[in-house]
Every structure is written in structure tokens, then in C-alpha cells.
Amino acid sequence: MKKLLLAATTCGLLVPGSAFAGCTQEEMMRKLADLQTAMTAYAQKHPDKAAEMSAKARNMTTKGTPNLDDVCKAYDEMIATLK
């Protein structure tokens, strides 16, 4: 579960800010916090599937340098999947 949270946190730290993005840095950080909360709850209910979700979070960080809009969209999709 710690790896799951670390991967989600890393996603947020690797994303550069963008003055022209529709999603602000602050909004992205709120979504990251929501994602971490959802991932923690998911890992407690489904420990067997937590590794899969962690891998998805890690994959978000290996796709190059996404813009904030892409990150916010990805966070929203992961949060919806986890709930």
C-alpha cells in the first residue's frame, strides 16, 4: 500500500506547472489528494487488486511530460475507477 501511495505522489511531483492549462497546479494537487485517499480505501478493500492500480499510477509517470489538463483528467479517471 505504501508503494501505491508513493506512486500517486510521484505522479503529482513530476508534472510541471503550466500557466495556460485549464487545470491549475492547485486543482491538480487537490485531485492528487483525492486520488491518494481513494487509493488507500481501495487498497484496504481490495488488497489483491491494489498492485494493479499502483502499476497504472506508475505508468502515468512514464509517459513523458504531460500537461496539467492531462494529469487532472487521468486523476479523475483513476478516482472514478477506484470508487
Q: Please write the tens of the pLDDT for every residue from 40-81.
A: 998 898 888 878 877 777 776 556 567 888 888 888 988 898
Contact 9, 36 (CB under 8 A): yes
Residue 71: inside a domain: yes
Q: Is 17 inside any structural domain?
A: no
User: Which grid cell sits at 70?
Assistant: 492531462
Q: How many other C-beta atoms lie within 10 A of the C-beta of residue 13?
A: 8
**50 found inside a domain:** yes
Residue 65 lies in a domain: yes
Q: What is the dihedral of CA 37, 42, 47, 50, to 10 degrees?
A: -80
Report pLDDT digits (tens) over 18-48: 444 488 889 989 998 998 899 899 889 888 8
Q: Containing domain of residue 56, as a range? A: 2-12+23-82
Domain count, the chain: 1
Which pLDDT band holds residue 3 (cuts at 50, 70, 90)?
Answer: low
DSSP strands (E only) in 1-83: none
Tell me, yes or no, whether 18 lies in a domain.
Answer: no
pLDDT at 30: 93
Distance CA 25, CA 60 (A): 17
